[in-house]
Amino acid sequence: MRAGARAPLRAALAALAVALPGTPAHSEPTGGFILDPAGIDTTRVVEPKGMSWIRPARRRTPTGFLYPYPLQPQTLNPLGENWLGEFSLDIGGMGTSGDDDEARFWRYADWGSNFLLRSFRVGLLETSKGIYTNLQGGGVGRDDQFYLGEISWLGRARLRGSFNGIPRDYARDARSVFTGAGSGTLSLLPGLTPGGNPTEPPFSQGSVTDAQLVATVESLDTSVLSVQRNDGVVRLDAWLRPDTRWFARYRSLSREGERPFGGSWIYPNDVGATARAVETIEPIEDRTHEVSTGLELSLPQGFDANLVYSGSLYRNQNESLTWDNPYLISGFTPVAQRELVRQGRFALAPDNDAHNVKADLAARLPLDGRFTATASWTRMRQDQDLLPPTVNSGTIGSLNLDAWNTAAALGQSSADTEVETLLLRGDLLLRPWKRLRIGARVRYFDRNDKSAYTACNPSTGEAGYITEDGALAALAGVGGHQIPTEVCGGPAGPAPFAEDFRYRSTPYGHAVLKAEGSVDARLDPKTQLGLRYAWIRKDYDHRERDHTVDNTVRAELSSRRLQWATARISYEFADRSGSTYDYDPYAAYYASSLPQFTGFNQSFTLAQFRKYDLADRQLNRANVRANFLLPKDMDLAVSGQVRDIAYDADYGLQYDRGASVSVEWNWQPSPNLNAFVMGAWEHARTETRSIAGRPGLPDPNAGGSVYPLQNAWEVRNRRNTGFATVGLRSRILERWILETRYGFIGSYQKIDYDYASASALSIGLTPAQAGTRFPDLETLDHELQSSIRFQITKHLSVRAFHLFRRSEIEDFHQSGLSDPDLLNAMPNPFIPGSTGGAGTLYLGHVDRDYTAHVFGATIQLRY
Partner 1 sequence: MNSRAVRRLGVLLVAGAAWWAASAPAQEDQDPAPTPAIPVAVPAPVAENVGRETCQMCHRQETAHWDPTVHGRVFSSEPRTEKQALLCEACHGPGSLHQQDPRNPEFIIGFTRSSATSVERMNATCLACHAGGERIHWRGSVHETVDLACSDCHNPMSQESVFGLEAQVSASQTCMTCHTQQRVDFRKRSHMPLHEGKISCTDCHNPHGSATEPLLRADSVNQLCYSCHADKRGPFLWEHAPVVDNCLNCHLPHGSNHEALLAAAPPFLCQNCHAQAGGFGHPGTLPTSGNLAAGAFPDPRVLGRGCVTCHVQVHGSNHPSGARFHR
- Considering only residues 308 through 347, tell me which ones interact with partner 1, judged by CB under 8 A: 312, 314, 316, 344-347
402 dihedral zone (left: phi>0; alpha: psi -120 to 50; beta): alpha
Q: For residues 16 and 420, what is the distance between their CA atoms, to the nearest angstrom?
A: 15
Residue of the chain from 222, 293, 395, 639 that contacts partner 1 (CB under 8 A) = 639
In the complex with partner 1, the residue whose CB is nearer, 147 or 190, is 147
The interface with partner 1 within residues 400-429 (CB under 8 A) comprises 410, 415, 417-419, 421, 423, 425, 427, 429
Report the DSSP pairing between strands 609-610 and 651-670.
parallel
38 sits near partner 1 (criterion: CB under 8 A)? yes
Exactly one of 13, 16, 21, 26 binds partner 1 (CB under 8 A); which one?
Answer: 26
49 backbone φψ class: left, alpha, beta (φ>0; ψ -120 to 50):
alpha
CA distances from 849 to 171, 268, 852 (A): 14, 30, 10
Residue 300's Cβ-count burial label (10 Å; 0-12, 13-18, 19+) is exposed
Residue of 83, 87, 246, 573 that binds partner 1 (CB under 8 A): 573
Looking at the DSSP bridge assignments, the partners of residue 17 are none
By beta-carbon proximity to partner 1, the closer residue of 202 and 658 is: 658
Residue 265 has φ and ψ, to the nearest 5°, of -130, 75
| Residue 850 CA from chain centroid, whole number | 26
Contact flag: residue 549 with partner 1 (CB under 8 A):
no
Name which of residues 644 to 673 contact partner 1 (CB under 8 A): 644, 646, 651-653, 657, 659-660, 662, 664
Cα 393 to Cα 560: distance, rounded to the nearest angstrom = 74
**Of residues 139-168, those binding partner 1 (CB under 8 A):** 144, 146, 148, 150, 152, 154-156, 160, 164, 166
Q: Does residue 741 touch partner 1 according to CB under 8 A?
A: no
Asked if 62 interacts with partner 1 (CB under 8 A), we say yes
Q: Does 727 bind partner 1 (CB under 8 A)?
A: no
Among 43, 176, 216, 352, binds partner 1 (CB under 8 A): 352
Applying CB under 8 A, the span of 177-185, 202-210, 329-337, 758-766 interacting with partner 1 comes to: 758-766
**Binders of partner 1 in range 506-535 (CB under 8 A):** 506-508, 510, 518, 520, 522-530
Nearer to partner 1, 76 or 248 (CB): 76
Q: Is 49 in the site for partner 1 (CB under 8 A)?
A: yes
Contacts of 405-408 with C-beta under 8 Å, sequence gap 24+, read: 406/459, 408/458, 408/459
Stretch that binds partner 1, among 178-186, 633-641, 789-797, 851-859 (CB under 8 A): 633-641
Closest CA relative to residue 35, chosen from 671, 711, 803: 803
Nearer CB in complex with partner 1: 398/620: 620
Structural contact between residues 145 and 138, judged by C-beta atoms closer than 8 angstroms: yes
Site for partner 1 in 456-515 (CB under 8 A): 465-469, 481, 500-503, 505-508, 510
Largest CA distance in the chain: 94
Considering only 124, 549, 642, 788, the residue that binds partner 1 (CB under 8 A) is: 642
Could you tell me which stretch among 183-191, 214-222, 734-742, 775-783 binds partner 1 (CB under 8 A)? Answer: 775-783
Q: Who contacts 791 (Cβ-Cβ below 8 Å, separation ≥6)?
A: 734, 735, 736, 737, 797
The residue from 402, 650, 739, 781 that contacts partner 1 (CB under 8 A) is 781
Is 447 a binding residue for partner 1 by CB under 8 A? The answer is yes
**Which position among 20, 33, 511, 546 is part of the footprint of partner 1 (CB under 8 A)?**
33
Of 191 and 561, nearer to partner 1 (C-beta) is: 561
CB of 191 to partner 1, least distance (A): 25
User: Cβ closer to partner 1: 56 or 792?
Assistant: 56
Determine, following the binding rule CB under 8 A, whether residue 178 of this chain makes contact with partner 1: no
Q: Is the distance from CB of 606 to CB of 649 less than 8 angstroms?
A: no
Residue whose CB is less far from partner 1, 792 or 795: 795
Q: Is 588 exposed, middle or buried (0-12, 13-18, 19+ CB in 10 A)?
A: exposed
Cα–Cα distance measured from residue 556 to residue 572, given in angstroms and rounded to the nearest whole number: 9
* Interface segment toward partner 1; rule CB under 8 A; list 176-184, 392-400, 675-683, 734-742: 675-683
Q: Which of residues 191-220 bind partner 1 (CB under 8 A)?
A: none
Interface with partner 1 (CB under 8 A), residue total 275
Of 235, 370, 547, 789, the one binding partner 1 (CB under 8 A) is 370
Give the residue with the Cβ less far from partner 1, 178 or 465.
Answer: 465
Interface with partner 1, residue 823, by CB under 8 A:
yes
Contact flag: residue 57 with partner 1 (CB under 8 A): yes
Residue 1 and residue 8: Cα distance in Å, rounded?
Answer: 12
Shortest Å distance, C-beta 418 to partner 1: 7
Q: Does 19 bind partner 1 (CB under 8 A)?
A: no
CA distance 697 to 220: 49
Judge contact between 617 and 610, C-beta under 8 A: no
Give the Cβ contact number of residue 676 at 10 Å.
17
Q: Which residues in the 273-312 window bind partner 1 by CB under 8 A?
A: 277, 279, 286, 288, 290, 296-298, 302, 304-306, 312
| 184 touches partner 1 (CB under 8 A) | no
In the DSSP assignment, the letter for residue 385 is: B
Least distance to partner 1, CB of residue 443, Å? 7
Query: Among 6, 29, 281, 403, which residue sits at the site for partner 1 (rule: CB under 8 A)?
Result: 29
Asked if 77 interacts with partner 1 (CB under 8 A), we say: no
556 or 739: CB nearest partner 1: 556
Q: Please say which residue, 31 or 326, places its beta carbon nearer to partner 1.
A: 31
At closest approach, how far in Å is the CB of 190 from partner 1?
Answer: 26
Return the half-sphere exposure (C-beta side, CA atoms, 13 A cut-off) of residue 74: 18
Judged by beta carbon, residue 9 or residue 792, the one nearer partner 1 is: 9
Of 574, 622, 726, 796, which lies in the binding site for partner 1, with binding defined by CB under 8 A?
622
Q: Could you say whether residue 269 binds partner 1 (CB under 8 A)?
A: yes
Spatial distance between the Cα atoms of 141 and 759, rounded to a whole number of angstroms: 58
Q: Which residue lies nearer to partner 1 by CB, 19 or 733? A: 19
| Buried b or exposed e, range 535-556, using 16+ CB within 10 angstroms | ebebbbbbbbbbbbebebebeb
Decide: residue 832, CB within 10 A, 0-12 exposed, 13-18 middle, 19+ buried: exposed
Strands (DSSP E) contained in 579-650 are: 609-610, 617-630, 634-647
**Site for partner 1 (CB under 8 A): which residue of 1, 189, 822, 861?**
822
Question: Minimum distance from CB of 745 to partner 1 (Å)?
Answer: 5
Within 10 angstroms of residue 121's Cβ, the number of other Cβ atoms is: 22
In 3D, which of 544, 697, 696 has the Cα closest to residue 609? 544
Cβ neighbours, 10 Å, residue 566? 22
Question: Taking CB under 8 A as the criterion, which residues in 248-267 touch partner 1?
Answer: 253, 260-264, 267
Classify residue 580 as exposed, middle or buried by CB count within 10 Å of its CB (0-12, 13-18, 19+). exposed
Q: Which one, 234 or 751, has the nearer CB to partner 1? A: 751
Q: Is 393 in the site for partner 1 (CB under 8 A)?
A: no
What residues have CB less than 8 Å from 795, skipping those under 6 apart? 861, 862, 863
Closest separation in Å from C-beta 376 to partner 1: 5
Cis peptide bond upstream of 198, omega within 30: yes
